[in-house]
Structure 1
Amino acid sequence: MQLRDRLGWMLSGILLGMLLMVSCDVVTQSPTARPSVADAAIVPSNVPQATTGAQIPVNQASVDAYSNVIRAVYNRGNPSVVRIDVQSSQGESLGTGFVIDKEGHIVTNNHVVGSSRSVLVNFIDGEAAIADLVGIDSDSDLAVIKVRNPNPNILVPVEFGDSSAIQVGDVVVAIGNPYGENRTATAGIISAIRGAKNEGGGSTFSIPGVLQTDAAINPGNSGGPLFNSQGQVIGVNTFILDPSGRGANIGLGFAVPANLVKLVAPAIIRDGSYTHPFLGAALASADSYFAEANNLPSKGVVITQLYEGPAAQAGLQVGDVIVAINGQAVLESGDVIAILELTTKPGDRITVSVAEGGGRTRDVQVQVGARPGR
């Protein structure tokens, strides 16, 4: 009896094993069976797909659409981009610029041209020409140069976009000459929009509405255009954060917003310089914790120092907390700078709302001044 029971169990085990093998074989050969992304990720790349059946799911249409956008932006913008070679007492350097009109005017960075009165400009077709400095604005790190004897056939002006419409996550493309690698395109997104940021150059003033991007920007990209997905210029690539001091991109690049360029460049062409609006106050951001710790009536922007100028003349005082300008709320000092720089000009009257405590505010009328020459 025991022998028969053992044989029965052995036969049952053999049959069960055969059924499992058949079942596994059917799953392996099923045309609908697909490994998970995690499974596919551990398959060595040198194993033929026919052997493993592993596939990483890819939405090819989306990949192609993104590639087509980058390609279209590059093809549209590239003819407008120039390489700028500079020779000065400090030696040779290079940067990037872009054509803005058929008269031969080119926008670049002030720190690209430096003290040079003329530079060499190289166009897409290999033609080179001398360009003379028209003027600079060190506070926005912008400069305009003009090609001698301009040939309208090779001058392809860019189209400017509206940098105030830019949002975090928008796709952008930079074209420039990093480390002399001519006409390099790099793509990324808008990582942040800063109220204002100082680029650490020759100005103590901050640049308003700065666009932060992870598109690779390196030495040689300076002065080059940052395009949106329609091929419009929405910024001028200007500086990077470089904690190492090696000048290498770490994904934190910054561009002067196009709306400021559209104010500065025409003034430089017309007058040789640009006059910035001026409030005449040093400001500090005050969050809720800072406001409570310093017995301030509200969070906002606190006046820490007054200079001779519009704010003092209007009756504003050190310790006043600004909560809005022309009805636009301000939470950081950069917000004040951006509103002044991008929406006002010297002589305009603005309404500065100051916190009084208990949720009340008082409005102060201030006539915007002109930033003193330095």
Structure 2
Amino acid sequence: MLKDSRKRFIQVLVALALLVLVILSAVLLWRWTESIGASAKRKELEKVLHTIVKDEGEAGLLSMAGVTVDNIFYGDEGVSLFEGQDTSWRYSADEMQNIKVYENCNKSVVHITTTLDVTVNSFMEVLPAQGTGSGIILSTEGYILTNAHVVEKATSLTVKLFDQRSYPAKLVGLDSEDDLAVIKISVDKATPLFPITIGTSEDLKIGQKVIAIGNPFGYDRTMTVGIVSGLNRPVKTAEGKVIMDAIQTDASINPGNSGGPLLNSRGEVIGINSSIYSTTGSSQGLNFAIPIDTAISVIPDLIKLGRVIRGWLDIIPVQLTPQLAAYAKLSVSKGILISQVVSGGLAEKAGLKGGTQVVQYGSSVIYLGGDVLLSINGHPVEELNDLYLALLNTRSGDKVKVLINRKGEEKTLEIQLVERSAQNVSALVR
């Protein structure tokens, strides 16, 4: 009997254990099912929220949640929100950003006054700058970056700092081709200099906010705000100077702004304000700046050598178009047609061939039948601006590998570069 009681007890325990197991399994199954349903609902909600953000932005999403947002600032560290009515805070995020950039950068901008023997057009395509311009402090040693047209014809230079102290300056290096120059002032150790923060122009986007600081019409360290309106612009002035790969901006630029910085929202220099296209001599929303990357590539030569020695192919290039390619019966429609090579030059010695058939092309005379340049050192060359950019960081004497198309066949030639001249670049702008 004891044995039967023990057996029944064990059976009851087993039954209870099975019951508990079944109950636990049911609970887990229910929770798992709920979890799957919640996950599906979450994913569906995420899709809906992503759609709202895409169509209406973060402000629209927050508005649906009952959160009133007056301004949103996007930065490297995330998103900053300003809530409530505008009476609850003094400045918008955009205004705070502008204020911070000005406070951090204005001491790095100098006012340059020049003495000229004769009246010249020192501001490129606008009214004469009257011997004034702007500059950017590069180092505590007193090196200052500005435009070549501000200082190149000056007999004397004077630099005024943010604290109104003035110092004579000397020209260190000049690059008329890119309209850049470096000048230098000597100050005592007790005089602080505030070098500008250098950024990059490589990743600029059209629509990005930019800030200009300069000395228009003699008003020291004036700040204007705009956007990047265009990139990679080749700009030719009435004086025949050319700015390649220029940044177009609608930030107000006037006589006296030349040589001043074009800044991004972090207060980094991304361009040097250089020229303005105008029918009145004042800003009309079409302004240009030299990319800071271009300046960075030439500053060491300007300080060390006083000039820049760039590389170039001794050829006469012509932009290939589909119409020209069809007329010349070429097998390619993109690239640079080699109209002529310099007789006895390095390109000719390396095997590059120019054309022999003379034709009228618009207002110019060109030669057909020559090679078509396709790439330089692996960089595709489809337009004249590509030719400029492919050789931007080269020096005369360097050798480059040039891929060409000759009568339907591709060949690679190694060509030694000659020194580039301003006439070479002027030919790129039609």
Q: TM-score, normalised by structure 1?
A: 0.76
Structure 1 SS opposite 2:99: helix
Partner AA of 2:71 in structure 1 = Q
Output the CA distance in 1 between the equivalents of 2:113 and 2:306: 22
Report whether the alignment pairs 1:105 with 2:143: yes
Hey, what's the Cα distance between the residues in 1 that align with 2:323 and 2:93?
46
State the alpha-carbon separation in 2 of the partners of residues 305 and 75 from structure 1.
54
Give identity over the alignment, percent: 37
| CA displacement at 1:64 relative to structure 2 | 2.4
Aligned partner of 2:325 among 291, 298, 311 = 291
Map residues 139-288 of structure 1 onto 2, 5 A cutoff: 139-151=177-189, 153-194=191-232, 196-201=234-239, 203=241, 206-242=242-278, 244=279, 246-288=280-322
Query: Which of 333, 337, 344 in structure 1 is aligned with 2:388?
Result: 337
Matched residues in 1 for 2:312 and 2:227: separation? 32
| C-alpha RMSD of the superposition | 2.5
Q: Describe the superposition over 1:59-116 as per-residue Cα deviations: whole angstroms up to 9, x where unpaired.
A: 4335923323222222222110001111211254211001101111111111111322
> Number of aligned pairs?
312
Q: Could you tell me which amino acid in structure 2 is paired with residue 257 of structure 1?
A: P
Rounded to whole Å, the distance in 1 between the matches of 2:402 and 2:225 is: 40
Distance 1:329 1:82, change over 3 A: same
**How many angstroms apart in 2 are the aligned matches of 1:151 and 1:118?**
24
**CA–CA separation in structure 2 for the residues paired with 1:289 and 1:69:** 49
Retained in 2: the 8 A contact 1:225–1:236? yes
* 1:347 partnered with 2:392: no
Structure 2 CA distance for aligned equivalents of residues 262 and 143 of structure 1: 12
Aligned-partner Cα distance in 1 for 2:155–2:205: 37
- Bigger Rg, which one: 2
Residue 137 of structure 1 deviates from its aligned partner by 1.4
2:162, 2:230 → 1: CA distance? 31
Tell me the secondary structure at the aligned position of residue 223 of structure 1. Answer: coil
Distance in 2 (CA, whole Å) between partners of 1:270 and 1:312 is: 32
Structure 2 residue corresponding to 1:365, chosen from 403, 414, 423:
414
TM-score by length of 2: 0.67
* Cα deviation, residue 195, structure 1: 6.0
Q: Is the 8 A contact 2:249 2:286 kept in 1?
A: yes
CA distance in 1, matches of 2:233, 2:286: 16
Indicate conservation of the 8 Å contact 1:278/1:310, yes or no.
Answer: no
Q: 1:323 aligns with which of 374, 387, 391?
A: 374
Read off the aligned partner of 2:205 and give its amino acid letter: Q
The answer as to whether partners of 1:346 and 1:369 remain within 8 angstroms in 2 is: yes
Distance 1:316 1:69, change over 3 A: farther
What corresponds to 1:306 in structure 2?
341
- State the 4+ residue runs in structure 1 displaced beyond 6 angstroms: none
SS of the residue 1:75 aligns to: helix
Which whole-Å deviations, capped at 9, do the CAs of 1:19-41 have from their partners, x for residues lacking one?
A: xxxxxxxxxxxxxxxxxxxxxxx
Change (3 A) 1:334 1:372: closer
Alpha-carbon distance in structure 2 between the residues aligned to 1:86 and 1:373: 24
Q: 1:361 to 1:113 in 2, by over 3 A?
A: same
The equivalent residue for 2:107 is: 79
Deviation at 1:58, TM superposition (A): 8.7
**2:255 counterpart letter in structure 1:** P
The more displaced of 162-171 and 262-271 is 162-171
Q: Equivalents in 1 of 2:190, 2:97: separation in Å?
A: 28
Secondary structure, counterpart of 2:290 in structure 1: strand
Residue 166 of structure 1 and its aligned partner are, at CA, apart by 2.2
SS at match of 2:304: helix
